[in-house]
Amino acid sequence: MMALNDNMRGALLMVGSMTAFTVNDVFIKLLGGDMPLFQILLLRGIGVVFFLGLLTVWMGQLHARFARRDWGLILLRAAAEAASVWCFMTALFSMDLANLSAILQALPLTVTLAGMLVFRERVGWRRMVAIVIGFCGVLLIIRPGPDGFTDGALFGSLAVVGVTVRDLAARRLSADVPSLMVSFVAAVAVLLFAGVGAATSPWVPVTTLHWAYLAGAMVFIIAGYILSVATMRVGDIGFVAPFRYTSLVVALILGALVFGTFPDGLTLLGAAIVVGMGMFTLLREWQLRRRA
């Protein structure tokens, strides 16, 4: 059997990470009709913080020896994570899984645009054209009507904003800040946010089926965290990064199999445009970094 090189290992890890996060979304969506959002976030968050904390300690990455600037970025990233998780799950309960996943594929475009606006990063005309075309694709997906955005499209778009802030903060962290420590702090922030919300909202009894769904969500989101950290350490980012779009393929398949839903033609066209422009942007950034 031919041995896998680093690029292929990185690609497989990226595919595994995106698949794990999407399967977690399926379990959460299955819970959404029976259990309040903050109760789901709190119960899942307890398990995630516990196991992620154990892993961080085991890897020797649980420490606070960072510069004040890095701590500020870590806390900003954690706050953005909590906000984006809430927006994403709110959107997940009110729209199809594949449609929401398609909106999130705009992230490479929004991160590039925000990097230019906030950090004055140079963005050439090719990437600017790709960003404009990509946002047109997003409009095909969400298609705001005369009354504006639907609730799902609005919260899905806000989730993209939150994740963009999260990723920009991560990009500015010093290289010696451990990835697991950053993920652990974010998980704690989500748990604390959920705890405040759960204390002021009603709870429902948790059935055996609910516990099974929660356990599935915990297992797959932890797997997603671990695989995503491993992905960043293996292979060439220019080769590996485009494989993040497998999350849309997985969402399309699971949405059809589990929920019996499939996007219409315009949504698929918009998703294809967003993915194409996102891949172009990722590859263009990789080329520029190699030249530099």
What is the residue-level pLDDT of the chain in tens, covering all 292 positions? 445 677 788 888 889 999 999 999 999 999 988 899 999 999 999 999 999 999 999 988 888 888 889 999 999 999 999 999 999 999 999 999 999 999 999 988 898 888 888 878 788 888 899 999 999 999 998 887 665 568 888 999 999 999 999 888 888 888 888 888 988 999 999 999 999 999 998 999 999 999 999 999 999 999 988 888 777 666 676 677 788 889 999 999 999 999 999 999 999 999 999 999 988 888 888 777 777 6
Nearest-angstrom CA–CA distance, 96 and 115: 30
> Is 265 a domain residue?
yes
With the CA atoms of 5, 10, 13 and 18 taken in that order, what torsion angle do they form, in degrees rounded to the nearest 10? -140
Q: Return the pLDDT at 151.
A: 85
> In Å, what is the CA distance from 27 to each residue of 23, 30, 216?
7, 5, 7
* CA atoms lying within 13 Å on the CB side of residue 115: 22
> Is 196 a domain residue?
yes
Determine the residue type at 47: G
β-partners of residue 145 are: 148
> Is 32 a domain residue?
yes
With the CA atoms of 189, 193, 199 and 200 taken in that order, what torsion angle do they form, in degrees rounded to the nearest 10? 170
- Other residues' Cβ atoms within 10 Å of the Cβ of residue 290: 9
> Is 120 a domain residue?
yes
Q: What is the CA radius of gyration of the chain?
A: 19
Question: Which run of H or E residues covers position 41?
Answer: helix 37-58
Q: Which tokens go with 88?
A: 């994403």
> Is 201 a domain residue?
yes
Q: How many domains does the chain have?
A: 1
Residue 38: CB partners within 8 Å, gap ≥ 6?
Answer: 194, 197, 198, 201
Q: Return the pLDDT at 146.
A: 61
| Domain span at 151 | 13-291
Determine the residue type at 61: Q
Nearest-angstrom CA–CA distance, 207 and 209: 5
> In Å, what is the CA distance from 16 to each residue of 134, 216, 250?
25, 15, 11
> In Å, what is the CA distance from 157 to each residue of 105, 135, 194, 265?
11, 11, 21, 21
> Is 51 a domain residue?
yes
> Is 3 a domain residue?
no
Nearest-angstrom CA–CA distance, 103 and 94: 14
> Is 6 a domain residue?
no
Q: Are 48 and 222 in contact (CB under 8 A)?
A: yes
